[in-house]
């Protein structure tokens, strides 16, 4: 339950976008590094530090839909409340009754959508992160609250180094 509440309260991607738009803002995340198609950031959240590796979608379907910003990220908290949590952030509300599906190679996982984010079950986090580090492409399929089926591709080039760096930054 605690990890679910942590996930609901995160606003990492909007903060990431704010950091790109206004790099000198004091509340913005700190860029730690770039690893091919992935970037690593740290961010203060109250008395805790959140560290995350993030990548944007390389392909969005259908092309006619307004997807907004689409990111996949893996987050850890310095306090240890959560480690290596994979999640999806989109620019629209997901249809909660139809679970999004993430896949890397032949492995796939069912996610649960909450508003504009989707998360894996805690028991799947480790396996998803391992697949992200070893694979070449992540594919996520979901349905919007308006009933539009969407699909996203994310490059995994640099994911292993970025995920490891984000985790190390929050040890």
Report field, pTM of the whole predicted structure over 0.85: no
Q: How far apart are CA 115 and CA 33, in angstroms?
A: 29
> pLDDT tens, 150-159?
999 999 999 9
Mean pLDDT over residues 31-55, rounded?
Answer: 96
**Rounded mean pLDDT, 108-129:** 96
| pLDDT tens track for 74-108 | 999 999 988 999 999 999 999 989 999 999 999 99
Sheet holding 59-61, edge to edge: 30-35, 38-45, 48-56, 71-77, 85-89, 117-120, 107-114, 101-104, 137-143, 149-155, 59-61
What's the pLDDT at 28?
83
Tens of pLDDT, residue by residue over 36-47, are: 999 999 999 899
- Domains of the chain, start order: 2-169 (2.60.40.1880)
CA distance 75 to 87: 8
Give the pLDDT confidence score for residue 13 in this predicted structure.
40
pLDDT higher at 2 or 99: 99
Find where tokens 């492995």 sit.
Answer: 107
- pLDDT-derived band of residue 49, with 50, 70 and 90 as boundaries? very high
- pLDDT score at 71: 97
């Amino acid at each position: 339950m605690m990890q679910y509440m942590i996930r609901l309260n995160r606003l990492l991607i909007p903060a990431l976008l704010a950091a790109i738009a206004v790099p000198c803002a004091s509340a913005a995340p700190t860029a730690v590094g770039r690893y091919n198609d992935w970037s690593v950031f740290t961010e203060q959240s109250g008395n805790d530090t959140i560290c995350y590796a993030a990548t944007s979608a390389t392909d969005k379907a259908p092309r006619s839909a307004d997807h907004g910003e689409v990111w996949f990220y893996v987050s850890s908290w310095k306090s240890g409340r959560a480690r290596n949590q994979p999640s999806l952030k989109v620019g629209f509300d997901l249809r909660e009754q139809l679970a999004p599906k993430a896949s890397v190679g032949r492995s796939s996982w069912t996610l649960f959508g909450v508003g504009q984010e989707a998360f894996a079950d805690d028991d799947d986090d480790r396996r998803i992160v391992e697949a992200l580090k070893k694979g070449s492409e992540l594919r996520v399929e979901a349905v919007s609250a308006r009933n539009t089926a969407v699909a996203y591709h994310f490059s995994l080039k640099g994911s292993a180094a970025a995920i490891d760096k984000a985790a190390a930054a929050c040890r």
